[in-house]
Amino acid sequence: MFIPPILKNISKRLATQNVKVIVVGGSVRDHFLKLPIKDYDIEVYGLKNLEALESLLSEFGSVNLVGKSFGVLKFIYEGEEYDFSFPRTEQKTGSGHRGFKVTCNGLMSFKEASLRRDFTINAMGYDIEQGLFIDPHNGKADIDRGTLRHINDTTFIEDPLRVYRAIQFCARFGYRLAEKTHLLCQTMVKEGQLEELASERIYIEFTKLLLKSPKPSIGFELMKSLGVLKYYPELEALVGVPQSQIWHPEGDVWIHTLMAVDKMVQLKKGDEKHDLKMMLAILCHDFGKATHTQISPDKISAIGHELAGIEPTKKFLYRLTNNHDFIASILPLIEHHLAPSIYFRGQAKDSTIRRLSTKVNIEELVTVARADFLGRTTKASLLGTYKAGDWLLAKAKRLEVYNLPPKAFVQGRDLIMLGLKPSKAFKGILDEVYTLQLEGKIVTKDEAMEYLKMMPR
């Protein structure tokens, strides 16, 4: 296992005092999964108090004491941060993630300390000085089997967030949830234990599920089987909603949504904020079908489901985050997600595309529409090409409205320059000229100014 030189140096220094430095948690897991190791968490065994550890670490770099009350010291060396902690036990004393009594004990054994961890794959350690892996709960065997298994019933249920962690880990690694772990998580959900969780903590796990999973659908199916969807009625309402076999031979709205979410993974850019926005948009894009699907003997339709999806999308997203601007940026993608296909079939005019650009970012819209189109099993979708989206993007580039609407030729200062006094009428005048610009009837600022000069005053 690769260990940064600074950690090796610290380990050697502490070894002179019969102190063990053990890398723990996700970094050891990711070593066996052959994933990049981004964070190193270290537990120190053999010291009596944190002050002694703080003194020793200060010889090598700076120490941040922000987590000291929880038995954690943040060590900073050449811009990199490492968490050093004492082995500890956690006893639940109240609700929420702060409702724990933390007891540090530098003389505790690794096996005893590891009981507080959630899953076997996260409870392995690596003794730096000896170059040995420590695996008291057979986490490596579970990695080889592709199984996610909890360690201890009593400690596991103390933090209900672990149900969400199970969901995102299974999706990220393509693991199966062990039967006993599945039953325990189901029980926690039925007993309402998830209700004590802060939305901020849940949102972090949702984000990991959507951004780190090659197939987020695994996580959402696990949510369904564990009963977690009861907390997200907008998602649960999609299960069993039928669709037209012509457009959606793959099945109901739930199946289509999960297929589209998995397709969106392939369209990510690597920009976390943008990618999360796209993933949430495609997850919510058909919420309106739950209320607007109509079934007749000869067809199934969901006319108006795009606009109907706005309110349930708001409810769903505000349950996860209070980031108003972020949520507002997703809503137009829901409302207009059918536009690329409709405009392509009708060979929309330039003016129509310009007007669309004032309502939604066309590049982002096509990304959502592309995942929607490819997330199904029609013959056209299985070919992997979304002609409507490619057509719209080409038109938008030519019209220079790919990411932004056309910039207005005239502003309020231009009206003042023509001798008009600022008034409520300004907005109406500017809107009129901008509409003509969108329609292509005014194509330069000079033409706009000439038009203004001829307007009655």
Class assignment of domain 5-146? alpha beta
Percent of the chain with pLDDT over 70: 96
pLDDT in tens, 61-115: 999 887 777 778 999 999 999 999 888 766 666 665 555 566 667 778 899 999 9
> What is d(CA 157, CA 191) in angstroms, rounded to the nearest whole number?
11
Does an H or E element contain 55, and which? helix 50-57
Report d(CA 50, CA 27) in Å as an integer.
23
List C-alpha distances in Å: 226 to 166, 223, 271, 378: 11, 5, 31, 31
Spatial contact of 106 and 118, defined as CB atoms under 8 Å apart: no
Q: Tell me how far apart the alpha carbons of residues 262 and 371 are, in angstroms, rounded to a whole number.
A: 8
**CA count, 13 A, side-chain hemisphere, 355:** 13
**pLDDT of 420 over the 60 cut:** yes
Delimit the CATH 3.30.460.10 region(s) of the chain. 5-146
pLDDT per position as a tens digit, 23-55: 999 999 999 999 999 899 999 999 888 888 899
- Per DSSP, the three-state class of 147 is strand
Tens digit of each residue's pLDDT (9 = 90 or more) over 206-261:
999 999 999 999 999 999 999 999 999 999 999 999 999 999 999 999 999 999 99
pTM of the model: 0.92
- 439 falls in which pLDDT band (50, 70, 90)? very high
Q: Which amino acid is at 216?
A: P
Phi, psi of 245 (to 5 degrees): -65, -25
The angle that helices 339-346 and 350-357 make with each other, rounded to 10 degrees, is 170
For the record, the structure tokens of 158 come out as 């103390």
Q: List beta partners, residue 301.
A: 294
Give 352-403 pLDDT, tens digit per residue.
Answer: 999 999 999 999 999 999 999 999 999 999 999 999 999 999 999 999 999 9
Mean pLDDT calculated for residue range 115-135: 96
The answer to whether the CB of 282 falls within 8 A of the CB of 368 is yes
